[in-house]
Amino acid sequence: MPTAREQAAFEAGIKLGALYHQWVGTPVSPGTAASIESAIQKSVKLQPHVEEINVRLDRELMKPNIFGYSELQGLMLRVEITTRVHGETCRARLRQEEDYPLMEIVE
């Protein structure tokens, strides 16, 4: 049986992975980025064990295509999440390492 601490870490990881794969490819522009950030936060916050989530999109990476928008890429995501299971918390984030988005436990 996993401990509450292990379960909190699992919940953080699974939510970051789902968020990443659900939203990558979404049409986005600097003008719509705030609404996408809010939608991602509200969507993830509905899930069990999520205590806090902060999503920011790197607008500098948004290069418009011929139609004036970009597709959300994993490297644009700046996400930090806190999960809580039976009093145990896990803070995790997406971080960039050599042009690759990695998920890591912070605390």
Q: Which domain CATH number covers 28?
A: 3.30.1300.20
Please report the pLDDT score of residue 67 as a whole number. 96
Output the CA torsion sign for 77, 22, 81, 69.
positive
Provide the domain count of the chain.
Answer: 1
pLDDT score, position 98:
85
Distance CA 84, CA 7 (A): 9
Q: What percent of the chain has pLDDT over 90?
A: 91
Structural domain for 81, as ranges = 4-105
Cα–Cα distance between 55 and 77 in angstroms, integer? 7
Cβ pair 101, 77 in contact under 8 A: yes
99 pLDDT higher than 90: no
Average pLDDT, the chain: 95
pLDDT tens digits for range 8-59:
999 999 999 999 999 999 999 999 999 999 999 999 999 999 999 999 999 9
Structure confidence at residue 95 as a pLDDT band (50, 70, 90): confident
What is the share, in percent, of the chain residues with pLDDT greater than 70?
100
pTM of the model: 0.91
Structure tokens at 40: 């991602």
